[in-house]
Chain A
């Protein structure tokens, strides 16, 4: 196969589309960590639940847009319950415990989906209005993946507006700086944490619905996604949203370009990227140095 500039450009856009999903996943992970200093090991499982719930609603209503709106709400609600009843009792007991708990939860969620939808997984389909390809000038590109990039951009923009321009976003940002001071100022920080956990898991669910048409939907799909989103978070810097977006796109592009030149090394490449970043800049692109001690 000859590698032409247009093929390279196509692969680059493919990488950005893949990276868009990574970015969304890392944003959810980072948001929860930045606020609650909890690493959600069930993040991949929430992503997987999102894909299943999305397909379930799609089958029920036949409308992709409907499931796109409803699924994050359902997955976010599961997240709310998780925070309130499982994670909250563990605050103040050390950083490892919420991590361990969410790891156990991911097993339960995987089996729950197996019970409800079977171990085979369900076939997913692209919504009819997003089928086909668009001519980008250097080649034809699937419409759905362009939509993926666009949707991610919209979500990131909405999240940014929420965090930077609304009053509640201000509280969230203040809370991630210093929860203690927020409490003194009369803010119910526990509720803010609850909401942030819900938003984070909701975004994971949303990325599950969005990614479903581009990959196989089965109960194990979140297992590798978790490891990949960790790579993105480590590269971008834990707790940083711009870092999550940039690193997500970078990881997507690295994966997609490696699969063009050396398909066998594609999965390895992103982990090697992480190892290199760790050697040069252990806190990641945008990570603050003292944050993790």
Chain B
């Protein structure tokens, strides 16, 4: 057990991918598995900022939404090929991250959460009102993903299993990227900023620039999640930009375990499965998820995966 844990820790990307490869077999239906995959990636992007850098943003739906919308707009209005549309979506999310991040890192602590929430709402209202491009309240409809020809293989998004594994390929690249960042000297600086930003500044690191860079990286990953979600849903609902969705990322991250590599996926799985099961019995699933979340904040702030990791590490 101990050795297995050490192995998982050393090869974290491989371990997560191995799990995600068999994951659809464990789920009752594929739509839920795809949703967990996408929101897991969204939470991974958010976790980079919240878990590793210690900045609690309540505006990350803006990046998911911008990624979705720009991908969708490029496909529907521009008629771009799907991969170029995705690049557009991710790049736009990065630019949004740069602008919002630039404004938000001027504030600290608790102000940061309020400011990111409010700045995220700017994006929400802007897209809400730009009806000609975004479809306004009804969302952007009519996104079609053609068959993807990869050498001898033909990938069709109509088949949910194919869709899952195509999305997983992108998630794999993103996870490798995040793992690489965290293992780099820059990753150490990020955590130094979280632990004590004054000391990090005293060591000669530019704290503001570090925060901004992480903010943009985090926005890019959330944008990728958004771009993939647009392809998955074929529509972009306006709720993708709302701060309640940012709140869901926060909840998933904490439920799973902030600052852990696998935590965001655990959190997304717990959150969405809870929602899925609860809606069978009651319309009021938000109360159940909200209450479970409060219990975690009060008693298990390290989240499910985080608590498990801590316990295993204590055993050693």
From known contacts A90-B298, A108-B290, A293-B108, infer whether A100 and B250 are also in contact, taking CB-CB under 8 Å.
yes
**Bound CA span A292–B115, Å:** 13
Say if the beta carbon of A278 comes within 8 Å of chain B. yes
Partner of B121, one of A33, A108, A227: A227
Q: Mark B233-270, 1 if CB is under 8 A from A, else 0.
A: 00000000001100100110010000000000000000
Partner of A104, one of B118, B122, B244, B293: B293
B interface secondary structure, majority: helix
Contact B129 A292 (CB under 8 A): no
Contact B109 A101 (CB under 8 A): no
**Bound CA span A284–B77, Å:** 41
Contact B114 A230 (CB under 8 A): yes
Contact A279 B286 (CB under 8 A): no
For B289, the chain A residues whose CB sits under 8 A away are 107
Q: Most chain-A Cβ atoms within 10 A of its Cβ — which of B118, B122, B129, B298?
A: B118
A290 CB to nearest B CB, Å: 10
Partner of B290, one of A39, A104, A115: A104
Say if the beta carbon of A268 comes within 8 Å of chain B. yes
**Closest chain A residue, CB of each to CB of B198:** A293
For B244, the chain A residues whose CB sits under 8 A away are 223
**Bound CA span A230–B111, Å:** 9
**Bound CA span A238–B119, Å:** 17
**Bound CA span A264–B126, Å:** 9
Q: Mark A24-47, 1 if CB is under 8 A from B, else 0.
A: 000000000100010100000000
For A104, the chain B residues whose CB sits under 8 A away are 251, 290-291, 293-294, 297
**Closest chain B residue, CB of each to CB of A230:** B114
Q: Mark A247-286, 1 if CB is under 8 A from B, else 0.
A: 0000000000000000011011001101100110010000
**Closest chain B residue, CB of each to CB of A101:** B297
Contact B113 A39 (CB under 8 A): yes
Say if the beta carbon of A128 comes within 8 Å of chain B. no
Q: Give chain B interface residues in 252-308, CB to chain A under 8 Å.
A: 254, 283-284, 286-287, 289-291, 293-294, 297-298, 301
Say if the beta carbon of B88 comes within 8 Å of chain A. no
Say if the beta carbon of A234 comes within 8 Å of chain B. yes
Say if the beta carbon of A191 comes within 8 Å of chain B. no
Say if the beta carbon of A53 comes within 8 Å of chain B. no
For B125, the chain A residues whose CB sits under 8 A away are 267-268, 271
Say if the beta carbon of A201 comes within 8 Å of chain B. no
Contact A90 B129 (CB under 8 A): no
Q: Give chain B interface residues in 212-251, CB to chain A under 8 Å.
A: 243-244, 247, 250-251
For B251, the chain A residues whose CB sits under 8 A away are 103-104
For A293, the chain B residues whose CB sits under 8 A away are 108-109
Say if the beta carbon of B18 comes within 8 Å of chain A. no
Contact A227 B287 (CB under 8 A): no
Q: Mark A163-175, 1 if CB is under 8 A from B, else 0.
A: 0000000000000
B56 CB to nearest A CB, Å: 5
For B284, the chain A residues whose CB sits under 8 A away are 111, 114-115
Partner of B129, one of A107, A110, A231, A268: A268
Say if the beta carbon of A216 comes within 8 Å of chain B. no
Q: Mark B42-64, 1 if CB is under 8 A from A, else 0.
A: 00000000000000100000000
Contact B287 A108 (CB under 8 A): yes
For A33, the chain B residues whose CB sits under 8 A away are 110
Contact B291 A108 (CB under 8 A): yes
Interface size on A, residues (CB 8 A): 45
Q: Give chain A interface residues in 98-120, CB to chain B under 8 Å.
A: 99-101, 103-108, 110-112, 114-115, 119
Partner of A292, one of B110, B118, B254: B110
Contact B293 A272 (CB under 8 A): no
**Bound CA span A89–B293, Å:** 15
Say if the beta carbon of A86 comes within 8 Å of chain B. yes
Contact A282 B106 (CB under 8 A): yes
For B243, the chain A residues whose CB sits under 8 A away are 227
Contact A268 B126 (CB under 8 A): yes
**Bound CA span A227–B294, Å:** 21
Say if the beta carbon of A158 comes within 8 Å of chain B. no
For B117, the chain A residues whose CB sits under 8 A away are 227, 230
Interface residues of chain A, those whose CB is within 8 Å of chain B, are 33, 37, 39, 86, 89-90, 93, 95-97, 99-101, 103-108, 110-112, 114-115, 119, 223, 227, 230-231, 233-234, 238, 264-265, 267-268, 271-272, 274-275, 278-279, 282, 292-293
Can you list 6 contacts pairing A with B, beta carbon distance less than 8 Å?
A: A95-B109, A101-B297, A103-B293, A268-B122, A275-B119, A292-B110
Inter-chain pairs besides A119-B283, A238-B111, A282-B107, 11 sampled, C-beta below 8 Å: A90-B298, A97-B297, A100-B254, A104-B290, A111-B290, A234-B111, A264-B129, A271-B118, A271-B119, A272-B122, A282-B106
Q: Give me the 8 closest cross-chain CB pairs, A-B, nearest first.
A: A107-B290, A111-B287, A104-B293, A104-B294, A230-B114, A108-B290, A271-B122, A111-B284
Interface residues of chain B, those whose CB is within 8 Å of chain A, are 56, 103, 106-111, 113-115, 117-119, 121-122, 125-126, 128-129, 243-244, 247, 250-251, 254, 283-284, 286-287, 289-291, 293-294, 297-298, 301
